[in-house]
Amino acid sequence: MTKDEVQGATEEEQAQSKKGLKKQQKEAEKAAKKAEKQSKLAADQQGSEEDDFAKDRYGVPPMIQSQQKLDRVLVRVEDLSPEKADQLIWLRARVHTSRAKGKQCFLVLRQQQFNVQALVAVGDRASKQMVKFAANITKESIVDVEASVRKVEQKIESCTQQDVELHIERIFVISQSEARLPLQLEDAVRPDGEGEEEGRATVNQDTKLDNRVIDLRTTTSQAIFRVQSGVCKLFRDTLTNKGFVEIQTPKIISAASEGGANVFTVSYFKTSAYLAQSPQLYKQMCICADFDKVFCVGPVFRAEDSNTHRHLTEFVGLDIEMAFSYHYHEVIDSITDTMVQIFKGLRDNFQTEILTVNKQYPSEPFKFLEPTLRLEYTEALAMLHQAGVEMGDEEDLSTPNEKLLGRLVKEKYDTDFYVLDKYPLAVRPFYTMPDPNNAKYSNSYDMFMRGEEILSGAQRVHDAQLLTERAMHHQIDLEKIKSYIDSFRYGAPPHGGGGIGLERVCMLYLGLHNIRQTSMFPRDPKRLTP
Amino acid sequence: MSMYQNGEVDPAVKALEARQDEILRKLYDLKAAVDGLAKTVTTPDADLDLTVSSSLSSQSPSSTTFTGVTNLDTLLGKDLGALRDIVINANPAQPPLTLMVLHSVLCQRYRVLSTVHVHSSVSNVPPQLLSCLGPRHADSYARQMFQLGVTLIWKDVPKLQMKFSVQNMCPIEGEANVARFLFKLLSPYPSDAALATLVDSWVDMAFFQLAEGSAKERAAVLRALNSALGRSPWLAGQEFSLADMACYCCVLQSGPASSTPSNVQRWLKSCENLGHFSPAKPFLQ
């Protein structure tokens, strides 16, 4: 630096250069420390090579390329119970945390949502060097461990396996993790608010989603997606038992199914095509093709540019369509019963997972009635009116009113799940069957969980003539929906159905606040990766 | 009724059918009247005009009981064009017999939509509890067609609970209080303050001493019942009231006493003759 330059420099720059100097100094100190450490480590290692009796009991074996097929049985962490006490077992798990304390090193070994405490202590099985090696294994590395199971006198509160600990006899690193993690798992599972009090870090949603692979390892995520898989299984099982047939429908379609807006256009050779907003058309065609009762689990696309807690651009739709005998309430009964079976199945079989999620995101247990409560739109309006909401008779429910209604229903009936029936015809799509007794209303219904809509359904018009009239009333270009209307010309049974968003059901059942938490790799207007 | 393939009905046949229906209806009325007369013989109010049996509303033309009020608007607040739904949360371990009885009487007076639900807090509710409000109404798909809704929810509650208008009413707790509320939809309490208080005190005695009390307390209440029934045909004088309804249910629920006093026995029989209590029968051991 020349003198002129120094003179010309402002105070600020001086300050900066001072800061820079300090920084440099610090870095130099750091490097020196690092070098010291490394040399020490090297020395230690040299030392260990000299007199380590436990040399074969630890280390980094060659990468597993399927060289040998061992007859070794790897025990699962969740199966570690006092019954296994004093047995010598093998185990593969991640190093969740490690803490070295003089002659011993405590590890928490994690497998999915379960963890157990393990201990390497200097003795006749483990050498000083082995303890050192164990302490230096980076977090999230995968290790193979041979250990004996020991009962503990005091419960280990921080682990899921509270009654036993492992005394490690051998430890091998199968896959080493990089030392620096983009986020700490403990930070990611900390309940909201708790971190702030203790001055600890919390991880925000975007960081979690950017590093989804690591975030998905947290006990909370593990539990959420197990519950989600449960919802899918229960949905399938219940409907299959009711005589439904699972169908697969195309997702690349030639015309938008629910109006022209909100569809993704994709280039399709020389023309363009759309991504399906719902399998609606195909479900109905299957009904016309005598499949009677069908359901479909698959991706659904919405090109809505809404960045809310409950909208995704791609989600998994659980769709139902069924022919009924005389009254569309047969359809409502069938769908609500399916939902109740799902809730019951979750309540009875996924208690561990629900409790795990509740630890991070506390919420009231999900309540429901069997048979499901069904209210009519006019009743809902009367309840809202009593609560002081002014609303027109044929007006659609706004989101705040929807939530308020949910609270009112919860207060009176103590249920988080109910059906709202007989919506005004004006607010429903053209294929909705009008109410025979009152032209203002329709045979349509919504279902709500914790005051948020999860399903929208109706009896569909199965008469080509009436369908044409309704389409014209809605000013829809008849040419564009010709093939749809034509499917009903050759005899179509009366039918109805609805579609549920899997992510929404999971979110609301668990009482979570953001749908991205229940989507494994969420897609929204601002997120296309990972 | 017969159906014709072309959908048309011969007018002559139609007339014949109408006549047949009319005759059948008259026969039913006659049978009901005879049944009613047969009961008056063993029922204290001998002047009862029971043209239609088991209907409280037409029980006695001279008394205002059960016929005094029909206007739900004055009782339950103004009509909002929607179903007025009364929600009752009851524990399946203690089925509320009085409410089942009151419900069936309400059904005779009003168009009542009754539904039974099971809350997620309980499982394995016995099937007879699921059908305790009778079979599903044929018109139950149109909730708006009803004047009154009774929604019974089997739920894990320590005390029976009623919720009606969540905006301006706190939940009502206790079977006795809910019974008083429902009974007022059928008839006003006696206008005489002393008589009204007497009814209230019998209701309290029924629920606190007969249903929940020790053997000693029960015996004391039975003695009190016996002496009161020696003075008048019903507990609160000349007319059947909520006092009789509550005491009847609680006496039967507390099990067959080895020595029921004679007046009480006569009164039990009279109650039985009224025909209101059949809905509670399946739940009495």
| Per-residue pLDDT tens over the stretch A484-521 | 899 999 999 999 999 999 999 999 999 999 999 999 99
d(CA A381, CA B82): 8
pLDDT over 80 (residue B148): yes
Weakest-pLDDT range from A54-63, A445-454, B228-237, B257-266: B257-266
Q: How many angstroms away from the CA of B120 is the closest CA of chain A? A: 5
CB contact under 8 A, B167 and A387: yes
Q: For residue A373, give how far its alpha carbon lies from the nearest alpha carbon of chain B (Å).
A: 8
Count of pairs with CB atoms under 8 A, one residue in A, one in B: 64
pLDDT at residue B186 in the model = 85
Helices B242-253 and B97-109 cross at an angle (nearest 10°) of: 140
3-state DSSP helix/strand/coil percent for chain B, to nearest 5?
Answer: 50, 10, 40
**How many angstroms separate the CA of residue B154 from the nearest CA in chain A?**
9
Report the half-sphere exposure of A5 (CA within 13 A, side-chain side). 4
**Average pLDDT over chain A, rounded to whole?**
89
**Structure tokens belonging to residue B143:** 């909730």
The ipTM, to two decimals, is: 0.81
Q: Supply φ then ψ for residue A270, to 5 degrees.
A: -90, -5
φ, ψ for residue A493 (rounded to 5)? -75, 155
Residue with tokens 């005394």: A167
Q: Which residues of chain A have a CB within 8 Å of the CB of B85? A: 379, 412
Residue B273 binned pLDDT confidence (cut-offs 50, 70, 90) = confident
Lowest mean pLDDT among A122-136, A331-345, A398-412, B38-52: B38-52
From B93's Cα to the closest Cα of chain A, the distance in A is 18
Q: So what's the pLDDT on residue B52?
A: 39
Centre a 10 Å sphere on the Cβ of residue B176 and count the other Cβ atoms it contains.
22
B139, B166, B168: best to mutate for the A interface, most A CBs within 10 A? B166
Specify which of A402-411, B1-10, B245-254 reaches the highest per-range mean pLDDT: A402-411
Known catalytic residue: A374? no
Which chain B residues touch A376 with a CB distance below 8 Å? 82-83, 143-144
Tokens at A68, concatenated: 């040998």
Does residue A317 have a pLDDT over 70? yes
B85 touches A at CB < 8 Å = yes
The span from the CA of A107 to the CA of B170, in Å, is: 55
Query: Looking at A186, A456, A523, A527, which residue is catalytic?
Result: A456
Let me know if A456 is a catalytic residue.
yes
Residue A89 to residues A35, A55, A111, A133, A137, Cα–Cα distance (Å): 39, 20, 15, 21, 21
Q: Does A370 touch chain B if contact means CB atoms closer than 8 Å?
A: yes
The verdict on a CB contact (< 8 Å) between A374 and B143 is yes
Q: Looking at chain B, which residue has its C-alpha nearest residue A435?
A: B142
State residue A251's pLDDT score: 93
Is B142 within 8 Å of chain A by CB? yes
Contact A435, A378 (CB under 8 A): no
Shortest Cα distance, chain A CAs vs residue B165, angstroms: 8
Answer yes or no: are the C-beta atoms of A278 and A258 closer than 8 Å: yes
Tell me if chain B has a CB within 8 Å of the CB of A448.
Answer: no
**Where do the H-state alpha helices sit in A299-426?**
329-349, 351-360, 377-386, 399-413
Q: Is 80 exceeded by the pLDDT of residue A34?
A: no
Chain B interface disruption, residue of A329, A341, A379, most B CBs within 10 A: A379
- For residues A459 and A467, the answer to whether their CB atoms sit within 8 Å is no
Q: What is the mean pLDDT of residues A246-259?
A: 82
Is residue A327 annotated as a catalytic residue, yes or no?
no
- Looking at the complex, report in whole angstroms how far the Cα of residue A387 sits from the nearest Cα belonging to chain B: 7
Is A236 catalytic? The answer is no
Q: Which of A373, A377, A417, A422 to mutate to test the interface with B (most CBs of B within 10 A)?
A: A373
B82 interaction partners in chain A (CB closer than 8 Å)? 376, 378-379, 381-383
The two beta strands, A114-121 and A104-111, are antiparallel
Q: Which of A110-124, A222-236, B39-53, B177-191 has the lowest mean pLDDT?
A: B39-53
Q: Answer whether B137 touches A (CB < 8 Å).
A: no
pLDDT over 90 at A76, yes or no: yes
The verdict on A385 touching B (C-beta cutoff 8 Å) is yes
pLDDT digits (tens, 9 = 90+) for B168-180: 889 999 999 999 9
- As a whole number of angstroms, the distance between CA B235 and CA A350 comes to 55
Q: Does the annotation count A190 as an active-site position?
A: no
Least confident window among A74-83, A88-97, A188-197, A232-241: A188-197
Q: Are A276 and A252 in contact (CB under 8 A)?
A: yes
Residues of B in contact with A415 (CB under 8 A): 119
Mean pLDDT score, B132-145? 80
What does the alpha-carbon distance between residue A287 and residue A494 come to, in Å, rounded to a whole number? 9
* CB of B117 less than 8 A from some CB of A: yes
Instruction: With CB atoms and an 8 Å threshold, state whether B82 touches A379.
Output: yes
A329 touches chain B (CB under 8 A): yes
Contacts of B155 in chain A (CB under 8 A): 414
User: How many Cβ atoms are within 10 Å of A502's Cβ, its own excluded?
Assistant: 20
Interface test with A, best of B120, B130, B146 (most A CBs within 10 A): B120
**pLDDT at residue B169, as a whole number:** 85
Radius of gyration of chain B (CA): 21
Q: Is pLDDT above 60 for B265? A: yes
For A122-172, where are the alpha helices, taking DSSP H only?
A: 128-135
CA of B249 vs chain A CAs: smallest distance (Å): 27
Burial class (CB in 10 A: 0-12, 13-18, 19+), A466: middle
In terms of average pLDDT, the best of A15-29, A247-261, A426-440 is A426-440
pLDDT higher than threshold 90 for residue A32: no
Number of Cβ atoms within 10 Å of the Cβ of A438: 13
* Nearest in space to B150 (alpha carbons), one of B195, B103, B212, B209: B103
User: Which positions in chain B touch A378 (Cβ < 8 Å)?
Assistant: 81-82, 144
User: Is the Cβ of B124 closer than 8 Å to some Cβ of chain A?
Assistant: no
Tokens of A105: 């090193």
**What are residue B76's phi and psi, to 5 degrees?**
-115, 10
At A200 the pLDDT is 77
Judged by DSSP in three states, A357 sits in helix
In this structure, are residues A128 and A103 in contact, taking their beta carbons and an 8 Å threshold?
yes
Whether the CB of B89 is below 8 Å from some CB of chain A: the reply is: yes
Q: Which two tokens stand for residue A164?
A: 């036993």
Which of A258, A304, A379, A452 is catalytic? The answer is A304
Q: List chain B residues with CB under 8 Å of A369.
A: 117-120, 153
Task: Say how far apart CA B250 and CA B277 lie, in whole Å.
Answer: 12
β-strand partners of A501: A317
| A368 lies within 8 A of chain B by CB | yes
Q: Which of A326, A374, A413 to mutate to test the interface with B (most CBs of B within 10 A)?
A: A413
Instruction: Please answer whether residues B278 and B58 qualify as being in contact, where contact means their C-beta atoms are separated by less than 8 angstroms.
Output: no
Establish if A386 touches chain B: CB-CB under 8 angstroms.
Answer: yes
pLDDT of residue A7: 52
Residue among B99, B92, B194, B196 nearest B153 (CA): B92
- Give B57's pLDDT tier (boundaries 50, 70, 90): very low
For residue A371, the distance in angstroms to the closest alpha carbon of chain B comes to 6
Phi-psi region of A449 (alpha: psi -120 to 50; beta: other; left: phi over 0): beta
**B119: chain A residues, CB-CB within 8 Å:** 367-369, 414-415
A512: tokens are: 């979570």
Catalytic residue (choose from A94, A125, A217, A310): A310
pLDDT confidence tier of residue B35, bands split at 50, 70 and 90: confident
Cβ separation of A369 and B81 shorter than 8 Å? no
Residues of A within 8 A of B121 (CB-CB) are 367
